[in-house]
Structures are given as C-alpha cells and as structure tokens.
Amino acid sequence: MDKFIIHGGKKLKGTVQVSGAKNASLALMPAALLNSGRNKLYNTPELNDVYTMLKLLSQMGVKFSFSNHILELNTTEINSFEAPYEHVKKMRASIYVLGPLVARYGYAKVSMPGGCAWGPRPVNLHLMAMEKLGAEITFEQGYIIASANKLKGNYINFDIPSVGATGNTLMAAVLAKGNTIINNAACEPEITNLCNFLIKMGAKIEGVGTSIIEVEGVDELHPADIETIPDRIEAGTLLIAGAITRSNIKVIGGITNHLHSILSKLEDSGCKLFYNKESIEINSENIEIKPIDVTTAVFPGFPTDMQAQWMAYMSLAVGTSNVTDTIYKDRFNHVPELVRLGVDIVMNENTARIVGVEKLKGAKVMSTDLRASASLVLAGLAAEGVTEVLRVYHIDRGYQRIEEKLKELGADIERVEGSEY
Ligand code: EPU
C-alpha cells in the first residue's frame, strides 16, 4: 500500500487543471449498456473507481480503449448481466448497472452493496423505483435479481433526493414503455451530465437539472459521445489546498456554477476569489481565516463530499465553527485522524465543533475513505513538520494523482510505493 510523505508549511503557487468528474463518469459508463455500438466518453479521469467500473463492464462483454482521457466503450456484445460481489464490495457505484441491464436485457443480477466505511448506505430507493417500473425484484445469496419482460413508465416519488437512485431510474425509464415522472429527483450536475448523454443517445427527457424529470420511453437508443463534466469536488479540494496554505493559486477547468456553495464559503472565510469561465483564482495570503459554519445539503447546497476538507480548513480558523453533515450523518471517520494532527474537534451527533488552533503538527495518519484522506492531505500541507498519510489507495479512487497536481503547485509531497499499512 502506498503512502504520502508531506513536508508541510510550503506556500503553493501557479495553476492546476481539474480532471473529469468521478461521479459523472461512474454514471456515464454504465449508461453505454443501453445501446449497441461505440460510445466515446471524453475527459474521463484516470481513477481507480473508473478502472473498477471498466473491469465490471468488460466482464459483461464491453470492449474498451482508454487513452488521453478518451474512453471508448463498445457495447455490441453484452453476454453477462451480473455485477459480482468482488467488484461491488470495492465500489458501491457498481449498482448503476442495474437500471440499464434490466431496461435493455430484462435481467440483472447485482451483488447487494454492504455497509460502507462510514456507515449504512441503503439502496431501497433504487429497488423501489425498479419495482415501480415493473421489474420483479428478488434476493438470492446476497444478490439483487431484477427481471422484467418490458419495463413500463410510472410515477416515481423519492422521499429524499438520491443521486444514485435518480441515475438508475433514468437509465431504466428511457427504455420503458410510456412516460415516467421522477419527483424529487437529484439535481446534481452529474445527473444533468447523464441526462445529456442519454438525450444524445436518443432518449426523450424533460426537466433536466430540476427536481421533476419527465421521461418518455423510446424503443431503442443509439451510441453517442459525451464530454464528462469537470470534477467539482476535486476543484473544491484544490481551492482549499490554496486556502489552507495561505497561498495564491489558480484552478483551471472547473465550472463555477457547480461550485457556488464552496466559493461563497471560501469568500466568507476571508479568501479573495477571482473567477471567470476558464479559471478560479484564490488568494488567502496573509488572511486571518474566519470560522465559517457549513451544513451539507443536496446540490446546490454545500456537498457532503467537501465536508471533511472543510473541517481541515476550519481547524486553522480564528474561532469556532460547526460542520454538520445532513446527508451522511456518520461520515466523520476523519475526525480522530485530524485530531492526531492537532485539530481540536468535539463531535455532537452529526455536528463537528472545531476550535481553531494556531498550528497543526505533522504526524502519521491513516486514510479511512476517499474524502477523509483528502482532508488529511490538506491538513498535512498546512502542518508543521512531516505528515505521513497511510493507505492512500482510498484517495486514488477519486483523485487523479493528486500528489502530482499538488507538486505542480509547489507542495512537498511524495508517494512512497508499497509501504507499511
Ligand atoms: N439513500 C437512501 N436510500 C437509497 C439511496 C440513498 O436512503 O436507496 C440516502 C443515503 O443514505 C443518503 C442520501 O440518500 O443519506 C443521499 O445518497 P445518494 O443516493 O444521493 O448517494 P449515492 O448516489 O450513493 C453519490 C456519490 C457520493 C456522494 C453522494 C451524495 C456517486 C458514485 N457517489 O452517492 O460520492 O457523497 O452521491 O452527494 O455518485 C464520493 O465521491 O466521495 C461519494 C461518496
């Protein structure tokens, strides 16, 4: 297992490019199962989760080529409709194959995702929607089995907006007979990206980007090409790297409309931001970081995927801030590790109360999940002395060689391969 060694306290400078969005790619890739032929997914990030999805799709018969961030998926010969435990246990997003397989092939066998590193993450909404569309769902030895002759459009209401359930329902409804309305749909940009890909394939979808999406099913879809949106969470993480090290950096390629909740919180904390369509410049040189509370919410609210990174940043604020996660109430595995770096945090249910300290001090810390590891890297960049972040395979799931991007900005960070646990 690799680890990062960070000599903290260095100012960052220069520009850095945002890669394609992990959570968009993980929906776009299985969507290709809905047609037969060659699909091109531009700006696909080179991430471990993308490789896991590729393994899963290849094992179903999808042929692919992947270079220069262009992923070509050839879906002409699909011969297996199963997502085995070995892939699903690594990556819950494997459940995205359920909708397209049952819609196009009338059958899917998908391993039930278990708990995740920070607690329960149910899939009841995915299954409810498949049943509403006419699929029969049974369970066998830890697998979800969905079958249907032909799905039928229906009215689907989500009690809470779920990104994954909205994506899966869309991928099923586009080939169902008749109309489907998804009420309280997720409005995340990754879902809009998916809708646009489906529309390019010939799907009929209204209300894209809103919480009421209407789908008129079609008989078949054709292959299409799509540009993956930039990763708003990577962009946010890099901006915090600038903010936490009191630096002046420019992040290129993010979409500001996807980032307003993060940008405004950064501004509230005292950073100066200059942005246009191409780039976002952040300057936190010589600022006193103000304590700013955040409460996570669905898009366009503050993303749960930025909660851990925000906590790292707030650890150096002058004063006390509260960070509340309403989406995943247990997503706080990073707390004891941040404490090892000198962060002063007290938990009260799903709220972390962070009392800012003057300095963080380097230590050995352990990654426990993707965004937790990002927060440890950020804290390590600002900490005095040496921080070792162990088990960075977590960060490799969702950030494309983050240490190289940070090095480009002048950070002193090294990957040590095959090191201790
Ligand atoms: N939920 C249910 N039942 C369901 C599905 C979801 O109760 O059937 C609940 C969840 O427990 C959670 C809320 O609904 O409280 C929202 O979960 P959602 O379904 O939106 O999450 P997801 O689709 O499983 C995606 C991202 C996550 C991100 C969340 C929230 C992908 C592949 N994953 O997960 O990304 O945190 O949306 O924005 O798109 C990450 O990148 O680090 C990550 C975890």
What's the gap in Å between 164 CA and the centre of ligand 1? 6
Return the ligand 1 atom nearest residue 299 CA: 38
pLDDT digits (tens, 9 = 90+) for 13-22: 999 999 999 9
Residue 421 has pLDDT above 60, yes or no: no
Return the ligand 1 atom nearest residue 329 CA: 15
Q: Name the residue of 23, 28, 97 whose CB sits within 8 Å of the most ligand 1 atoms, as the mutation to test its pocket.
A: 23
The Cα 389–Cα 374 span in angstroms is 10
Residue whose CA is at the smallest distance from ligand 1 atom 28: 305
| Residue 53: Cβ-neighbour burial (10 angstroms; 0-12, 13-18, 19+) | buried
Closest residue by Cα to residue 143 from 86, 188, 103: 86
Residue whose CA is at the smallest distance from ligand 1 atom 5: 123
Residue whose CA is at the smallest distance from ligand 1 atom 10: 121
What's the gap in Å between 158 CA and the centre of ligand 1? 13
Q: What is the mean pLDDT of residues 296-300?
A: 98
What's the gap in Å between 70 CA and the centre of ligand 1? 26
How are beta strands 225-227 and 3-7 bridged, if at all?
unpaired
Instruction: Return the amino acid letter for 81.
Output: F
Residue whose CA is at the smallest distance from ligand 1 atom 44: 305
Instruction: Return the amino acid letter for 160.
Output: I
The Cα 4–Cα 378 span in angstroms is 12
Q: How many CB atoms lie within 10 A of CB 416?
A: 14
pLDDT of residue 35: 98
pLDDT grade, residue 418 (50/70/90)?
confident
Q: Is 116 a known active-site residue?
A: yes
Residue 191 has pLDDT above 60, yes or no: yes
Instruction: Return the amino acid letter for 123.
Output: V
Residue 120 has pLDDT above 80, yes or no: no
Residue whose CA is at the smallest distance from ligand 1 atom 16: 162
Q: What is the mean pLDDT of residues 294-320?
A: 98
Residue whose CA is at the smallest distance from ligand 1 atom 14: 162
Instruction: Return the amino acid letter for 277.
Output: K
Q: How many CB atoms lie within 10 A of CB 371?
A: 27
Selecting among 116, 187, 195, 271, the annotated active-site residue is: 116
Q: What is the mean pLDDT of residues 240-259?
A: 97
What's the gap in Å between 93 CA and the centre of ligand 1? 9
Q: What is the mean pLDDT of residues 180-185?
A: 98
What's the gap in Å between 245 CA and the centre of ligand 1? 30
What's the gap in Å between 386 CA and the centre of ligand 1? 34
pLDDT digits (tens, 9 = 90+) for 22-63: 999 999 999 999 999 999 999 999 999 999 999 999 999 999
What's the gap in Å between 289 CA and the centre of ligand 1? 31
Ligand 1 residue neighbourhood (C-beta within 6 Å)? 22-23, 26, 93, 121-126, 160, 162-165, 186, 190, 303-305, 327-328, 370-371, 398
Tokens (6 digits) for 243: 């903010």
Residue 250 has pLDDT above 80, yes or no: yes
Tell me the DSSP string of 131-158: HHTT-EEEEETTEEEEE-SS-B--EEE-
Under 8 Å CB-to-CB from 166, ≥6 apart: which residues? 158, 182, 185, 186, 191, 213
Return the ligand 1 atom nearest residue 163 CA: 20
Return the ligand 1 atom nearest residue 120 CA: 11
Return the ligand 1 atom nearest residue 298 CA: 38
Q: Name the residue of 87, 160, 168, 295 whose CB sits within 8 Å of the most ligand 1 atoms, as the mutation to test its pocket.
A: 160
What's the gap in Å between 328 CA and the centre of ligand 1? 8
Residue whose CA is at the smallest distance from ligand 1 atom 19: 162
Kindly report the average pLDDT of the chain as a whole number. 96
Q: Name the residue of 163, 166, 237, 368 whose CB sits within 8 Å of the most ligand 1 atoms, as the mutation to test its pocket.
A: 163
The Cα 241–Cα 237 span in angstroms is 6
pLDDT digits (tens, 9 = 90+) for 142-179: 999 999 999 999 999 999 999 999 999 999 999 999 99
- Specify whether the CB–CB gap between 158 and 167 falls below 8 A: no
Return the ligand 1 atom nearest residue 121 CA: 11
pLDDT of residue 34: 98
Return the ligand 1 atom nearest residue 116 CA: 44
What's the gap in Å between 162 CA and the centre of ligand 1? 6
Tokens 């990073």 locate to 334
